[in-house]
Structure 1
Amino acid sequence: MQAGTVKSLVIITKSFAITLWISIIVIYRLHRGLYTRRHCDSLLRWWSRKLLRYVGMNCRTFNLDEEVFRGGRPVIIMTNHSSLYDIPIMFVTLPGSIRMLTKKDLFKVPIWGKGLETGEFIPIHRDNRRRAIKDLAQARKKMESGIILWIAPEGTRSRTGDLGPFKKGGFMLALRSKAIIVPVGIRGAREVLPARSCTFSLGRQVEVHVGSPIDAASRQAAGVETLMKEVESQLRSLMGTAAS
């Protein structure tokens, strides 16, 4: 067995184990009546730092204004998405009680799925539009309670690293909830672990570029298509790619 394969297996095993462990902790605390959102936030950041340490990743954040995340308005973070590591990167670099829309199927995974549910992650039925609308209504309630929602507007990881077509759901949610959208461009995460790959590149420098907040309430008249184009334009710039 090659050295690179052994390293990949070690990283995968350690990552799986710590993900299982954090799920057990959250479920246990809920069962004992000890669960709090603040404690879950701390656990998620601890878990994220561990995952990034396993691959030797170093993150730098640019143009972060923490006040945007404390303004008392619903906040939706929208990022490009090309690696599984985008998730822990968000928890490590951005403030607040961040949760994400997560494929409904993942909630069926033993232990981990229950951990997601307990940790206030929000299921989304990607293949059932009617159910997806109900899921977004639940997401709106979570935001009203203080959750900061993370959405990849492409809906899935990009295989090439380029932005794929955006789905409208997250933008409709932003308009209806009068949320602040914070575009965030992640640079370098794809090289650590591309989509549908088990080959890791260790010791990478990843950059997180935070864009200008967009007040969806002031874009009501312009409509969803205009809002999507504005977010796409910012994301391309934040990613360091030219607008197409």
Structure 2
Amino acid sequence: MRKVLGYILTPIFYLSFALSLLIFHPIQWLCLKLGGYSAHKKSVDILNGLLVACNYTLFNRTEFIDNKNLPTGRPIIFIANHQSTYDIPPLIFFLRRFHGKFISKLELMTANIPSISFNLKHGGAANIDRKDPKQSIAEILKLANNMKQHNWSAFIFPEGTRTKTGKMKAFSVGGIATLLKKNPDALVVPIAINGSYKMVQWGSFPLRPFTHMTWEVLDPIPTEGLSLEEVVKKAEEAIRAKVKEEN
């Protein structure tokens, strides 16, 4: 019965999602031209709030458990497990006060996806070419310098790819090392994502309705006296402890 409802509701979800992207593409352009970074960011925040709301067309529940004790005005490296494409809008919207940027594939920026490609190009993301290590390092360094200069934050999925089953893969140090070396005072904050893989368990069509998904912002990982590998390992362990039931 749930899958039958998925066939009925999924077109409504995709229509809502696509309309949001199409409508906000020119809005982003206008905000950037007239108001610069600040206005553009506000438009992106509102867009991602609407993308989160699209989940209601599937009767899906998006529960975001914030951590109000995190300070603003300093860089934060948010480390999260990765379960689906739909992990991203809640992170941008609910943590918008931290000016979080993503390390993204260059292909997404050049694909001319309405709103998404524009934001990746102009919003401060690190758009890396995985076939070109020098370009990737340069992009991550640029993000690291912007974090230091503007007190921006970064979102990283250190598994490297999405899981199809909810079972976590091992974390790699990768870009986290570069960001931390340039921002040694940055907080490292794990985020545990649960259930979003279930939304796409049947693939892109139909999507699974009546799904409960959670994003939980955990306490910062202490970094003093620890190697980069130890910091990432502690973040991985903290997240695994929260998603263990999903594995």
TM-score tier by shorter-chain length is 0.7 to 0.9
Kindly report which structure 2 residues correspond to 1:159-170, keeping only aligned pairs within 5 A, or say none: 159-170=164-175
Letter in 2 for 1:136: I
What residue in structure 2 maps to residue 27 of structure 1?
29
Which of 156, 163, 184 is equivalent to 2:161?
Answer: 156
Scaled by the length of structure 2, what TM-score is found?
0.83
Displacement of 1:59 in angstroms is 2.7
Displacement of 1:95: 4.5
- SS at the partner of 1:181? strand
Matches within 5 A, 1:65-104: 65-70=67-72, 72-96=73-97, 97-104=99-106
Aligned partner of 1:116 in structure 2 is 120
Q: Distance in 2 between matches of 1:127 and 1:20?
A: 30
2:45 aligned with 1:42: yes
Paired amino acid for 2:195: G
The reply to whether residue 229 of structure 1 matches residue 233 of structure 2 is yes
Q: Which runs of 5+ in 2 are unaligned?
A: none
Residues 1:225 and 1:185: Cα distance change in structure 2 (over 3 Å): same
* TM-score normalised by structure 1 residue count: 0.84
SS in structure 2 opposite 1:99? strand
Cα offset for 1:232? 1.1
Shift of 1:174: 4.1
User: How many residues in Structure 1 have an aligned counterpart in Structure 2?
Assistant: 237
1:137 aligns with 2:144: no
C-alpha distance in structure 2 between counterparts of 1:54 and 1:158, whole Å: 24
Q: What CA RMSD, in Å, does the superposition of the two structures yield over aligned residues?
A: 2.6
Structure 1 distance, partners of 2:110, 2:41, is 25
Mapped to 1, the partners of 2:202 and 2:229 lie a distance apart of 28
5+ residue gaps, structure 1: none
Deviation digits for residues 101-126 of structure 1, max 9, x if unmatched?
11111111224422332233331222
User: Structure 1 residues 55, 94: closer, same or farther in 2, change over 3 A?
Assistant: farther
- Contact 2:64 / 2:90 at 8 angstroms: preserved in 1? no
* Aligned pairs for 1:47-58 within 5 A: 47-58=50-61
